[in-house]
Amino acid sequence: MQFQQVTKDYSGGFTAVKNLSFEIASGELVFLAGHSGAGKSTLLKLIAGIEQPTSGTVLVNKQNLARLSRASLPYVRRHIGLIFQDHKILFDRSVYDNVALPLDIIGFDGREAKRRVLAALDKVGLAGKEKLNPVALSGGEQQRLCIARAVVHRPAILLADEPTANLDRDYANDILELFKSFHQVGVTIVISAHDESLMADYGRRILRLKNGQFTA
């Protein structure tokens, strides 16, 4: 994916990211660091096509998101898995049904869909909990449910907004190891965090944002 001089102003005129240019190679795992308000979520939303740039160009899969029709955006989104802070777990249905949601949207069902859902739950350590209501899960388990839901349709790109926020260090490392395993099967991954010390051990590129711009 590639950003070419991308600026995002929110209504009211506030500039959240300013003139950003960078490239993330297919299959790369990149960290996005910066304090609260630095523009991390905005950058991830621009990649996901949830926000549109005020100026500049966002290319994902060599496609300019701004040039896509409203009808074709969902097809691009299918290749992206999102783990955002507001979990958006549906508490009126089971763990299984929550994870199956992205497959339902694609119209992918049947035995292979079931196998995928159970494999995703197994992958995040929630095997055997599929029939539960998500309220019965701990906070950490709910977060892993979100990760299972984000990867069940095998996206090429995985975007995670502060997935380790409020976690103790061991648990945060478990989550990062999980992302590493997706990286090992070729998924392009962008993980944001305000705590840079966690990222240091992983030897990956770190993009540092401050007031919407990159710092060294």
Kindly tell me which residue out of 187, 189, 198, 199 binds ligand ADP, with binding defined by CB under 6 A: 187
The alpha carbon of residue 133 and the mean position of all alpha carbons in its chain are separated, in whole angstroms, by: 23
Q: Does 183 bind ligand ADP (CB under 6 A)?
A: no
Run of H or E including 121: helix 111-123
Strands 205-210 and 188-193: unpaired
**DSSP conformational letter for 67:** G
Q: Does 119 bind ligand ADP (CB under 6 A)?
A: yes
Cα–Cα distance between 45 and 194 in angstroms, integer? 17
At 168, which amino acid appears?
D
Kindly tell me which residue out of 56, 134, 155, 163 binds ligand ADP, with binding defined by CB under 6 A: 155
Q: Does 190 bind ligand ADP (CB under 6 A)?
A: no
Contact present, 117 and 99 (Cβ < 8 Å): yes
Q: Does 79 bind ligand ADP (CB under 6 A)?
A: no
Residue number with CB closer to ligand ADP (60 or 152): 152
* Tokens describing residue 71: 């009808």
Give me the least distance between CB of 190 and ligand ADP, in Å please.
12
Kindly tell me which residue out of 36, 69, 138, 197 binds ligand ADP, with binding defined by CB under 6 A: 36
Residues forming the site for ligand ADP (CB under 6 A): 10, 12, 14, 16, 34, 36-42, 116, 119-120, 123, 151-152, 154-155, 182, 185-187
